[in-house]
Amino acid sequence: MFGFGKKQFREGDYIFASISEGNYSNIITGNVTFAQMDKLKVSGIYIKPIGLIERLEQGRITARQQEVLRSPTPDNVIHVLINKVEYGIYNDYIQSNRAWITKISAKRYAEIETWVRDGYPELFSILLSPMDPRKDEAREIFMAKYNSLYDADFKQTLSAVARQLGIL
């Protein structure tokens, strides 16, 4: 009666959505351009966690990675973004009753979108691989990108992740 328990999204909101595809979930993040009942039109990006899917198929996935693969959230999406991903432009409808959706800030959206667009998932995947022959080249590219960043907050986030993983 009063709308308790039902999340309402409006045009202009930024959202993070995960849509189950069986053993994994695709991620959609972007700006709501149209909202009606259980239907949202979103303009943004989609992310398919290819690296974690490959690990799952090879049986080399941890329990935490499996949890993130099935139920990604804005808080754990970094586990997806340090592995290979497939991504692209998303400009379509989401059925809110068939997806887990939450609001995020414009800044958080920009951070996720920049991370993916600038190729950090591929770089981290190479840097974290124990035997990839492209590791030295990837480190040089990473450092060049890192040193050329202007956004202090993004640089701080990138630095924290890279330090935690032993890359910096």
Orientation angle between helical segments 152-164 and 106-117, nearest 10 degrees: 60
Instruction: Kindly report the average pLDDT of the chain as a whole number.
Output: 92
Nearest alpha carbon to residue 16 among 82, 61, 78, 86: 78
User: What pLDDT score was predicted for residue 103?
Assistant: 96
User: What pLDDT score was predicted for residue 131?
Assistant: 87
Tokens describing residue 63: 């329990």
**Domain range summary for the chain, segments of one domain joined by +:** 11-105, 118-168
Report d(CA 107, CA 29) in Å as an integer: 12
- Tens digit of pLDDT for each residue in 79-98? 999 999 999 999 999 998 88
Distances (CA, A) of 25 to 37, 50, 118, 127, 159: 23, 11, 22, 25, 27
- Tens digit of pLDDT for each residue in 139-164? 999 999 999 999 999 999 999 999 99
Question: CB within 8 A of 8, min separation 6: which ones?
Answer: 35
Report d(CA 49, CA 81) in Å as an integer: 8
Task: Kindly state the percentage of the chain with pLDDT values over 90.
Answer: 85
In the predicted structure, residue 2 carries a pLDDT above the cut 90: no
Tokens describing residue 80: 């997806």
User: What pLDDT score was predicted for residue 42?
Assistant: 97
pLDDT band at 117 (very low <50, low <70, confident <90, very high): very high
Which has more confidence, 168 or 24? 24
Report d(CA 119, CA 3) in Å as an integer: 41
User: What pLDDT score was predicted for residue 1?
Assistant: 43
Distances (CA, A) of 89 to 37, 86, 133: 24, 11, 31
User: What pLDDT score was predicted for residue 21?
Assistant: 92
The mean pLDDT value for 125-143 works out to 92
Letter string b/e over residues 50-71, b meaning 16 or more CB atoms within 10 A of that residue's CB: bbbbebbeeeebeeebeebbbe
Report d(CA 76, CA 56) in Å as an integer: 17
User: What pLDDT score was predicted for residue 4?
Assistant: 53
The mean pLDDT value for 123-144 works out to 92
In the predicted structure, residue 5 carries a pLDDT above the cut 80: no
pLDDT band at 36 (very low <50, low <70, confident <90, very high): confident
